[in-house]
Chains A and B, each alone.
Chain A
Amino acid sequence: DGGITQSPKYLFRKEGQNVTLSCEQNLNHDAMYWYRQDPGQGLRLIYYSQIVNDFQKGDIAEGYSVSREKKESFPLTVTSAQKNPTAFYLCASSSTYQETQYFGPGTRLLVL
Chain B
Amino acid sequence: GQQVMQIPQYQHVQEGEDFTTYCNSSTTLSNIQWYKQRPGGHPVFLIQLVKSGEVKKQKRLTFQFGEAKKNSSLHITATQTTDVGTYFCALDTGGFKTIFGAGTRLFVKA
Contacts and interface: CB of A to CB of B under 8 A. Distances in A.
Interface of A: 35, 40-43, 45, 48, 56, 58, 90, 92, 98, 100-106
Given A56-B96, A98-B98, A100-B48, A42 B103 contact: yes
Nearest to A94: B98
Given A42-B101, A42-B103, A100 B88 contact: no
User: Interface size for chain B: under 10, 10 to 19, 20 to 34, or 35 or more residues?
Assistant: 20 to 34
A43 B4 CA distance: 13
B7 interface: no
A45 B88 CA distance: 14
14 contacts: A40-B105, A41-B102, A42-B100, A42-B102, A92-B43, A98-B97, A100-B45, A101-B33, A101-B35, A101-B43, A101-B90, A101-B98, A104-B42, A106-B42
A40 B88 CA distance: 12
B78 interface: no
A105 B42 contact: yes
B92 interface: yes
